[in-house]
């Protein structure tokens, strides 16, 4: 009963936040962010532990795998475009991955943040499972890494549109690369709102950034720490 209740509550809250987002269509109200805020607020207000919530939440979490696999469909649909821009996509993702790693570490070092936190922060722009594995290898805290990944994804979905508008970036390839490289799965979902091509590019960018980050991150950490 607890599992069913938590699942229904999560689905209902997300559905309501989607309705709100469609009615007041501003990036700051992106459903993943508002849903998370509402759920956390309710858990705190009614003194419901995270462990209790995850009786049902874990079943929703299991859908992450199929959701990621489903991203292969737009990739197949736009395979000719991917081949055409293959070099540009790969180079852009490599540069974006390096900037994502270096910027986080440099700012953390600048503000004198604890070394363990820096190591956990480094792979913030990579999808959660990969980020947690990378963090474990370099000596950080995988749990903290998962939190930073969520923050990076949500912030990217919320503020990405403003940044793209400020920099006058309108090309679908550039939009997909930006979201996928900087904000992993959440960013890719946000890119898909622009169009199927942006979603496809975001998907491949997310995958490539995870691969590149797993190779580059240990060297970048040694360079700064």
* One domain, residues 197 and 119: yes
* One domain, residues 55 and 75: no
CA angle 44, 22, 182 (to 5 degrees): 70
* One domain, residues 158 and 213: yes
**Cβ–Cβ < 8 Å for 7, 60:** yes
Model pLDDT, residue 212? 93
How many domains does the structure of the chain reveal? Answer: 2
* One domain, residues 52 and 124: no
Confidence of residue 129 (pLDDT cuts 50, 70, 90): confident
* One domain, residues 159 and 93: yes
Residues 222, 154: Cα–Cα separation, whole Å: 28
Last residue of a domain, one of 27, 44, 62: 62
**Residue 32, domain extent:** 2-62
* One domain, residues 116 and 162: yes
What ranges in the chain are assigned the alpha helix state H?
2-23, 31-45, 50-61, 64-70, 72-77, 79-84, 86-110, 115-121, 128-138, 142-166, 172-192, 196-224
Confidence of residue 96 (pLDDT cuts 50, 70, 90): very high
Could you say which DSSP state residue 141 is in?
-
Model pLDDT, residue 144? 86
* One domain, residues 108 and 52: no
Model pLDDT, residue 71? 74
- Over residues 139-162, mean pLDDT: 88
Model pLDDT, residue 44? 93
Q: How far is CA 52 from the centre of its chain?
A: 25
Residues 203, 206: Cα–Cα separation, whole Å: 5
* One domain, residues 162 and 207: yes
Last residue of a domain, one of 43, 62, 81: 62
Model pLDDT, residue 104? 84
Residues 73, 216: Cα–Cα separation, whole Å: 29
Cβ neighbourhood burial of 19 (10 Å; 0-12, 13-18, 19+): exposed
Residues 101, 97: Cα–Cα separation, whole Å: 6
Task: Specify the pTM.
Answer: 0.83
* One domain, residues 106 and 205: yes
**Cβ–Cβ < 8 Å for 174, 160:** no
- For 59-76, the pLDDT digits (tens) are 887 787 787 777 778 888
* One domain, residues 129 and 188: yes
Last residue of a domain, one of 21, 37, 62: 62
């Amino acid at each position: 009963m607890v599992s069913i209740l938590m699942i229904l509550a999560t689905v209902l809250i997300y559905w309501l936040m989607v309705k709100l987002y469609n009615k007041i269509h501003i990036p700051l109200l992106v459903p993943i962010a508002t849903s998370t805020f509402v759920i956390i607020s309710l858990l705190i207000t009614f003194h419901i532990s995270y462990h209790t919530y995850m009786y049902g939440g874990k079943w929703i979490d299991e859908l992450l795998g199929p959701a990621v696999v489903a991203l292969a469909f737009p990739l197949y649909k736009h395979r000719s475009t991917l081949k055409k821009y293959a070099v540009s996509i790969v180079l852009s993702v490599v540069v974006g991955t390096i900037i994502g790693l270096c910027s986080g570490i440099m700012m953390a070092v600048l503000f004198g943040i604890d070394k363990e936190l820096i190591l956990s922060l480094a792979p913030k722009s990579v999808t959660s499972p990969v980020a947690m594995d990378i963090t474990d290898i370099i000596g950080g805290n995988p749990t903290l890494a998962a939190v930073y990944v969520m923050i990076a994804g949500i912030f990217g979905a919320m503020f990405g549109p403003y940044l793209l508008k400020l920099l006058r970036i309108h090309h679908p390839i550039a939009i997909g690369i930006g979201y996928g490289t900087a904000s992993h799965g959440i960013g890719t979902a946000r890119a898909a709102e622009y169009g199927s091509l942006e979603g496809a590019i975001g998907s491949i960018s997310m995958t490539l950034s995870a691969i590149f980050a797993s190779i580059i991150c240990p060297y970048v950490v040694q360079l700064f720490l």
